[in-house]
Amino acid sequence: MKNKLFLTLFLSTTLAFPVCAQKTPKAVLPIPELKQVNWQKMETIAFVHFGLNTFNDKEWGYGDIDPKTFNPTNLDCEQWARTFVKVGIKEVIITCKHHDGFCLWPTQLTEYCIRNTPYKNGKGDIVGELAAACKKYGLKFGVYLSPWDRHSAVYGTSAYIEYFYKQLNELLTRYGEISEIWFDGANGGDGWYGGAKEVRKIDRRTYYNFPRAYKLVETLQPHAIIFSDGGPGCRWIGNENGIAGATNWSFLRKGVVFPGYEKYYELTNGHKDGDQWVPGECDVSIRPGWFYHPEEDSKVKSVNDLVELYYQSVGHNAQFLLNFPVDRQGLIHPIDSTNAVTYHQRILSELKTDLLRGLTPSVSNSRGGKFGPKAMTDNLYDTYWATQDGVTKATVTFNLKKAEKINRLMLQEYIPLGQRVASFVIEYYSEGRWIKVNPHEETTTIGYKRIVRFETVKTNKIRVRFMEARGECLCINNISAFYSGNDQSFDTDKNKNEASTLPLSIVNLPATEAAKATDGQENSVCRTTQKTIVIDLGKEQIIKEFDMLPDNGQQRKGLISNYALYVADDAQGSNKKPLAEGEFSNIQNNPIWQSIYFAPIKTRYVIFQAVRIVNDLNEVSFAELRIH
């Protein structure tokens, strides 16, 4: 039997590998808990913002609005649940208490709750109604409990902490299994506070004693994921635009991030050197506001907007948390539901046919046996291809039966053993050579799932080159290729977006020549014999993209075919660190804008080096340089 397995592996790959014990790869820390893996598999979650704010045209209630204004006339939590099922959503989180302190369940801890509203003559329990609807329609159920309470007279004191924990205990014990608990990062500030109408500040690191909350959740709801800015179950992604970084590590440094963390922008990419598994969750509302406002009926995100958000959340190794502001009737507005359902159908269509399913790729290295390359296309989550120990660079090549159109590639790492890949390249075969696709973002991390979009190519061969990884080996459990059904085009040439271009100066060239690279004129070309260009951004900035427009005139001299990009501490190149290196493919025949994408980094000085010039000339030329 073993001989047959080895023979099958040998025949299915272009290289034979030495016989060795097929031991399971070692995990590379940190690793997720099983509940975190299962949470990430859901991919899309619904948020519901509903409360006094809905009926008073507020986003953040002050804490003094009369509960009698809360009166939905046709509330139907089952309508919500049916909508979410059609959108492909697997979990629902509701704002049980927002910052205004109003509670959507009939708690006895405060009079500021649904008991004192006209809804069902004070006998209603919207948290309970939604929990029941979720159970009926097979959805997981989560609760949002704002730590901040602008209504409470004792907020800011130890008495409030006890009140908060009693609220949390009620939510964790009354409504069956809770899948996720949301603790918002907005904490302390102006509020009604029992009529005091003042500003109250708290120490966000210590006031709530969150370790106590985590212990309570672990005791009462051990399968629940805890959300906050820093986790521990999942983290805020650092923005409310629904976008994760293309570079997205599922780690944070333990004990560093707290609710209200001032360096929130770090959360978009995670901490590569983190020691705690805390994957990202991308929260965004389908409308401009989180709560319902009638004037926003014409401002609902379009189908295209939602599709883009899916690719920049789920496709960037994060969870997509889409908010639905329930209207004053107590229903999801038909515009919201129509756009959301249509977006989901679009995603299903674009990712319908996996062109690699069932194929056995050739690989440059394999651990063999059950860790062979076939595991990447068998549609089973717990099987994966792994390289031998010590091999973190490898190539996976797929030979299709015929030339196919492709413009999406999905990659997945086997995250129960950790997140490893730090850099990869996708290439297709055309006219006798391998050409790199242009995804218009850095291809660095993968994690649970990475979906890379690029201009449509037609090919019978496609490959992935893994260039850098953490740990001792690679562990890839899926690679899929798709054609979305339309030839999506990207703006790569003359209309390159200038909105995010940073001011820059070239410090090691004569001023008159250097100015030609930043004057916005494509027909003025900077020419030099210097093969190293030093760029000063004027101050430290976070950058993620470098663009160059080559000389596109008739002469086209000094075109750069191979490059290297660095950052440094000063103009002399002190402490120079590599950012990227590669080839500008076909630049001689097609001298369009060339873009280099990399993980966001903070720097003032950028060094651009021409490693090789077309025709090996000594002259270097470029029409424009831009940094974003």
Within this chain, do residues 343 and 360 fall inside the same structural domain, yes or no? Answer: no
Residues 104 and 139 in one domain: yes
R_g (Cα) of the chain, nearest Å: 27
235 and 303 co-located in one domain:
yes
Give the integer Cα–Cα distance in Å for 374 and 361.
7
Looking at the fold, whether 91 and 234 belong to one and the same domain comes out as yes
Provide the pLDDT for residue 489.
Answer: 59
Residues 271 and 390 in one domain: no
Q: 425 and 304: one domain?
A: no
Question: Quick check: 307 and 322 in contact, CB under 8 A?
Answer: no
Lowest mean pLDDT segment, chosen from 142-146, 479-483, 494-498, 594-598: 494-498
CATH for 461: 2.60.120.260
Least confident of 245-259, 466-480, 582-596, 604-618: 582-596
Contact between 286 and 241 under an 8 Å Cβ cutoff? The reply is no
Last residue of a domain, one of 298, 330, 349: 349
Predicted pLDDT at 554: 67
Q: What is the pTM of this model?
A: 0.84
Range of the domain at 159: 37-349
Residues 341 and 372 in one domain: no
Residues 6+ apart with CB under 8 A from 418: 27, 28, 29, 30, 31, 470, 471, 475
Number of domains present in the structure of the chain: 3
Q: Are 280 and 244 contained in the same domain?
A: yes
Work out the average pLDDT over 287-310: 96
Q: What CATH number does residue 245 fall under?
A: 3.20.20.80
Answer yes or no: is 14 within a domain.
no
Q: What is the pLDDT of residue 500?
A: 64
In a domain, 28, yes or no: no
Lowest mean pLDDT segment, chosen from 299-308, 432-441, 476-485: 432-441
Does residue 275 form part of some domain? yes
180 plus 293 within the same structural domain: yes
Both 291 and 395 in a single domain?
no
495: in domain: no
Q: Are residues 191 and 65 in the same domain?
A: yes
Task: Among 292, 319, 349, give the residue marking a domain's end.
Answer: 349
Q: What is the rounded CA–CA span in Å between residue 361 and residue 372?
A: 10
Q: Residue 185 has what pLDDT?
A: 87
Same domain, 258 and 109: yes
> Which of 375, 289, 368, 379 lies closest to 327 in space, CA to CA?
289
Give the chain's mean pLDDT: 93
